[in-house]
Structure 1
Amino acid sequence: MLKVEITSTEFDQRSGTSKKTGQPWEIRTQAAYIHKQGQPYPEKVGLTLQDGQLPYQVGVYTLDLNQCFKVGDFGRLTLDERNFVLKPYVKQQSTAKPAA
């Protein structure tokens, strides 16, 4: 399972005007750290916030896989790079029964 850690609610905001269309654009990116299994240290990544989306609160999350994938060209499973949705991480309890 991929864990995503948010350590700050701050985000970077960039904006401008498209040279092709003349339309304004804006990108808001929040820093996060991904903890991959088997890796000793997390990696810093940027998460794009959607229009009007509040930044994620400080905490640990997982990816909502139902929102992060889409059916792409030719019916292929594709990662939806603009639609990463996080949900709070809930540590799974062990189902092993203690020895008697």
Structure 2
Amino acid sequence: MSETNGYKHLGPRLGGSRYRQLFVKGTRIRAAIIADDVLGPQAMTPEEAAANWNLPVEVVLECIRYTQENADVLRQDWEEEEASLARNRALHPERYPLPPES
């Protein structure tokens, strides 16, 4: 297990990122993206998600644990992403159309 963040397979993205959440080490994949494959609306088993991403099941399970333990960080990243999208949409509405109403 990493002594710096408590996760063996997760860390900040090398080269930097605007996201505060952790990434799978050696990839550009956010832990939350992998966890969503298991916890999201079209849920896979951890084994299916591991095969989908070509990762060990241990990494998928760690991604799930990370998202459950760090919901506040994920929420902050999501809020910042939404605010950035709103700013860009205001400046360039033609580039950032609103989704159709359902």
What TM bracket, shorter-length normalisation?
under 0.3
Higher helix proportion: 2
Give the TM-score, by structure 1 length: 0.25
Higher strand proportion: 1
Bigger RCO (CA 8 Å, 6+ sep):
1
Give the TM-score, by structure 2 length: 0.25
Larger radius of gyration: 1
